[in-house]
Amino acid sequence: MRLTIDLTEEKPLYQQIRDQIVEGIAVGLLAEGTPLPPTRRLAADFGINFHTVNKAYELLRREGLVRLHRKRGAVVHVSAPDAAAWADWEARLRILLAEARARGATAEEIQERCRRILNVLMRPAAGEA
Amino acid sequence: MRLTIDLTEEKPLYQQIRDQIVEGIAVGLLAEGTPLPPTRRLAADFGINFHTVNKAYELLRREGLVRLHRKRGAVVHVSAPDAAAWADWEARLRILLAEARARGATAEEIQERCRRILNVLMRPAAGEA
DNA sequence: CTATTGATCTAGTATAGCTATATCAAATTG
DNA sequence: CAATTTGATATAGCTATACTAGATCAATAG
């Protein structure tokens, strides 16, 4: 799977990396057990410090999406969200949806956009890894 | 409308203020034309610096949700999002939905949660201002 | 005119993000 | 066992962001 970073983005580099891996898992490009590149190699590819990649991996570990081993490296390992994780997620979703509502979008229009995005995320993405 | 801040939150204070006002507009507690408290007064109520409230208001102005006048103060004024704003919003939504998908939630389950939150946001909240 | 309110400027502190270097520890591999 | 790979951890320095503090300016409602 192809990973990229954008130094001009306001979004932190470790967050960009984390987000792309999350999307990769969501669409199935990164299946359970798939190894991620070693932090040093990915950092070298990006031309950034390996601590930054480390931070992204550590974040993914805390979120329950990867397992980290010495020598074996980082491996995709999904664990279902607990109640607290769901509550946190819904709080963030609530703010995002409120933003659209506040600016005049109808509930139907918002739901349609959610549906379209989920459709894309559900598309089987085999052979693109 | 009741506004609060939490100093122990990781979320920046100006962002907490902004998010609550966005939600207030979304649910209809803050209708078009409603004046927001003066920055100095709100800051005093919170026990924080008025520059922080100023930052929240300025953010809301940039987002097209309030108009700022001297002496008249900040007033709710909604403007519809343009294409760029929608694209930005969808990008953020995409990451959030991907997060849930990555951790095993089905598209139906995710849509149901979106629907439930929108339901709450649509509930007319008259008389609670 | 006066008082209120946002706009702007300077400045100081604390924290976050990123980099750089170095070392440690586990575990795979030969 | 020994060597190598890989994440884990520690220190330090730099820049940007978040927040505070105090002062001043400018529009404008009354």
Name the residue range of residue B44's domain.
13-76
Q: Are residues B118 and B95 in the same domain?
A: yes
At A123 the pLDDT is 79
Range with the poorest average pLDDT among B72-81, B92-101, B118-127 = B118-127
Quote the DSSP letter at residue B35: B
In angstroms, the separation between the Cα of residue B7 and the nearest Cα of chain A is 18
Protein residue ranges contacting nucleic strand D, Cβ under 7 Å: A 10, 36, 38-41, 51, 54, 57-58, 61, 68-74; B 12-15, 48-49, 51-52, 55, 69-72
Is the model's pLDDT at B47 over the cut of 80? yes
Q: List the structure tokens of B94.
A: 């995409």
- Assigned token pair, A11: 């979004």
What kind and span of H or E run contains B41?
helix B39-46
pLDDT band of residue B35 (cuts 50, 70, 90) is very high
Q: Which residues of B touch A10 (CB under 8 A)?
A: none
Number of compact structural domains in chain A: 2
Tell me, yes or no, whether B129 lies in a domain.
Answer: no
Q: What is the pLDDT along chain A (129 residues), one digit of tens a residue?
A: 999 999 999 999 999 999 999 999 999 999 999 999 999 999 999 999 999 999 999 999 999 999 999 999 999 999 999 999 999 999 999 999 999 999 999 999 999 999 999 999 997 665 555
Query: B53 to each of B20, B33, B41, B118, how far by Cα in Å?
Result: 12, 19, 10, 28
Same domain, B68 and B20: yes
Stronger pLDDT, A123 or B25, i.e. the higher one: B25
Residue B62's pLDDT is: 96
Report yes or no: A34 and A75 within 8 Å, Cβ to Cβ: yes
The mean of the pLDDT values for chain B is 94
Structure tokens belonging to residue A107: 């509930």
Same-domain status, A71 and A17 = yes
Q: State residue A129's pLDDT score.
A: 55
Angle between helices B13-27 and B107-122 (to 10 degrees): 80
Q: How confident is the model at residue B111 (pLDDT cuts 50, 70, 90)?
A: very high
Measured between CA atoms, the residue of chain A closest to residue B11 is: A92
CA of A13 to C1' of C17 (A): 9
Q: What's the pLDDT at A126?
A: 55
In contact, A28 and A126? CB cutoff 8 Å: yes
Question: Which 3 state secondary structure label does DSSP give A74?
Answer: strand
Say yes or no: B72 and B87 in one domain.
Answer: no
User: Which residue approaches D18 most closely, CA to C1'?
Assistant: B12
The count of other CB atoms within 10 Å of the CB of residue B6 is: 9
